[in-house]
Amino acid sequence: MHAKISQLQEEMAGKTVEASSGGGMVNIVMNGKQEAISIRIDPEVVNREDIDMLQDLMIAAVNEAIRKSQEMMTEEMKKNYRGLNIPGLF
Protein backbone atom coordinates (compact mmCIF):
# COMPACT_ATOMS: atom_id res chain seq x y z
CA MET A 1 0.00 0.00 0.00
CA HIS A 2 2.77 2.43 0.97
CA ALA A 3 4.60 1.60 -2.25
CA LYS A 4 1.48 2.35 -4.31
CA ILE A 5 1.05 5.73 -2.64
CA SER A 6 4.71 6.56 -3.23
CA GLN A 7 4.33 5.55 -6.87
CA LEU A 8 1.24 7.78 -7.22
CA GLN A 9 3.11 10.71 -5.68
CA GLU A 10 5.93 10.23 -8.20
CA GLU A 11 3.40 10.14 -11.06
CA MET A 12 1.76 13.31 -9.76
CA ALA A 13 5.12 15.11 -9.83
CA GLY A 14 5.01 14.75 -13.60
CA LYS A 15 1.50 16.17 -13.98
CA THR A 16 0.77 19.87 -14.01
CA VAL A 17 -2.07 22.30 -13.55
CA GLU A 18 -2.26 25.90 -14.66
CA ALA A 19 -4.01 28.74 -12.90
CA SER A 20 -4.28 32.43 -13.62
CA SER A 21 -5.59 35.64 -12.14
CA GLY A 22 -6.39 39.09 -13.45
CA GLY A 23 -7.84 37.72 -16.66
CA GLY A 24 -4.60 35.91 -17.48
CA MET A 25 -2.26 38.69 -16.39
CA VAL A 26 -0.53 36.27 -13.99
CA ASN A 27 -0.18 32.54 -14.81
CA ILE A 28 1.22 29.83 -12.57
CA VAL A 29 2.04 26.25 -13.57
CA MET A 30 2.28 23.84 -10.64
CA ASN A 31 2.93 20.11 -10.46
CA GLY A 32 1.03 17.52 -8.46
CA LYS A 33 3.52 17.90 -5.61
CA GLN A 34 2.40 21.53 -5.31
CA GLU A 35 5.70 22.90 -6.54
CA ALA A 36 5.59 25.97 -8.77
CA ILE A 37 7.09 25.11 -12.16
CA SER A 38 6.69 28.46 -13.87
CA ILE A 39 5.25 31.91 -13.35
CA ARG A 40 4.40 34.28 -16.18
CA ILE A 41 3.53 37.92 -15.51
CA ASP A 42 2.19 40.13 -18.27
CA PRO A 43 4.44 43.22 -18.40
CA GLU A 44 1.35 45.45 -18.49
CA VAL A 45 0.50 44.51 -14.91
CA VAL A 46 3.91 45.62 -13.61
CA ASN A 47 3.40 49.13 -12.30
CA ARG A 48 5.66 50.70 -9.70
CA GLU A 49 2.73 52.76 -8.48
CA ASP A 50 0.57 49.69 -7.79
CA ILE A 51 2.75 46.86 -6.49
CA ASP A 52 -0.11 45.84 -4.18
CA MET A 53 -2.22 44.82 -7.19
CA LEU A 54 0.57 42.62 -8.57
CA GLN A 55 1.04 41.01 -5.17
CA ASP A 56 -2.69 40.33 -4.91
CA LEU A 57 -2.72 38.79 -8.40
CA MET A 58 0.23 36.57 -7.50
CA ILE A 59 -1.45 35.37 -4.30
CA ALA A 60 -4.69 34.64 -6.15
CA ALA A 61 -2.93 32.68 -8.90
CA VAL A 62 -0.80 30.66 -6.46
CA ASN A 63 -3.81 29.80 -4.29
CA GLU A 64 -5.80 28.73 -7.35
CA ALA A 65 -2.89 26.56 -8.57
CA ILE A 66 -2.65 24.90 -5.15
CA ARG A 67 -6.40 24.24 -5.15
CA LYS A 68 -6.23 22.71 -8.64
CA SER A 69 -3.21 20.59 -7.69
CA GLN A 70 -4.99 19.26 -4.60
CA GLU A 71 -8.09 18.55 -6.67
CA MET A 72 -5.99 16.65 -9.23
CA MET A 73 -4.40 14.54 -6.47
CA THR A 74 -7.78 13.79 -4.90
CA GLU A 75 -9.19 12.63 -8.24
CA GLU A 76 -6.17 10.38 -8.85
CA MET A 77 -6.50 8.90 -5.36
CA LYS A 78 -10.19 8.21 -5.96
CA LYS A 79 -9.41 6.44 -9.25
CA ASN A 80 -6.61 4.34 -7.82
CA TYR A 81 -8.02 3.55 -4.38
CA ARG A 82 -11.74 3.37 -5.08
CA GLY A 83 -12.29 0.26 -2.95
CA LEU A 84 -10.66 1.66 0.16
CA ASN A 85 -12.66 3.57 2.70
CA ILE A 86 -10.10 5.61 4.59
CA PRO A 87 -11.76 8.49 6.47
CA GLY A 88 -10.35 11.88 5.56
CA LEU A 89 -8.37 10.56 2.59
CA PHE A 90 -10.86 11.59 -0.10
Rounded Cα gap, residues 80 and 13, in angstroms: 16
Mean pLDDT for back-to-back runs of 10 residues, the chain (90 residues): 77 91 96 93 92 95 95 84 59
What integer pLDDT is reported at residue 3 of this predicted model? 79
What integer pLDDT is reported at residue 42 of this predicted model? 96
**Number of residues in the chain:** 90
What integer pLDDT is reported at residue 8 of this predicted model? 79
What integer pLDDT is reported at residue 83 of this predicted model? 59
Give the count of alpha carbons within 13 A of 22, CB side only: 21
What integer pLDDT is reported at residue 54 of this predicted model? 94
The pTM for the full model equals 0.78
